[in-house]
Structure 1
């Protein structure tokens, strides 16, 4: 996936979630797409910028990427 595609997915996950779950969705995105992000060596900042959400959420994405080493996402 390109950075633009990842940004679009992140934007959708964030905006489709309730306000209470928006931060969780960013972490979940990091878990689900960690392999792709690491494989292409994309930076968290680039992905957040492409998503159009606040740059303050770069830390939530970092948390998701770190969590991906310990958990698996259950696709619904």
Structure 2
């Protein structure tokens, strides 16, 4: 995936998240796209998505979880 694809997917997942589950969707994004994010860089994706840069930490949590879990 490209930087543009990742950033738009992140923004979409965040925007369409059920009420009070936005951060959960950010974690899920990190889990689902961990390999791509490690190649491109989390910071760039967050910056381009327009979300606060603090979500960088939340995506990294998802990347770390990707070693142990998989989405249903």
Calculate the TM-score normalised by the size of structure 2: 0.92
Q: Which runs of 5+ in 2 are unaligned?
A: none
1:58 equivalent in structure 2 = 56
2:34 equivalent in structure 1 = 34
SS at match of 2:54: helix
The count of residues paired between Structure 1 and Structure 2 equals: 72
Q: Which runs of 5+ in 1 are unaligned?
A: none
CA-atom RMSD, angstroms? 1.0
Pairing of 1:1-76 with structure 2 (within 5 A): 1-38=1-38, 41-74=39-72
Alpha-carbon distance between aligned partners in 1 of 2:8 and 2:24, rounded to the nearest angstrom: 17
Calculate the TM-score normalised by the size of structure 1: 0.87
Identify if the C-alpha distance between structure 1 residues 19 and 56 changes in structure 2 by more than 3 Å, giving closer, same or farther.
farther
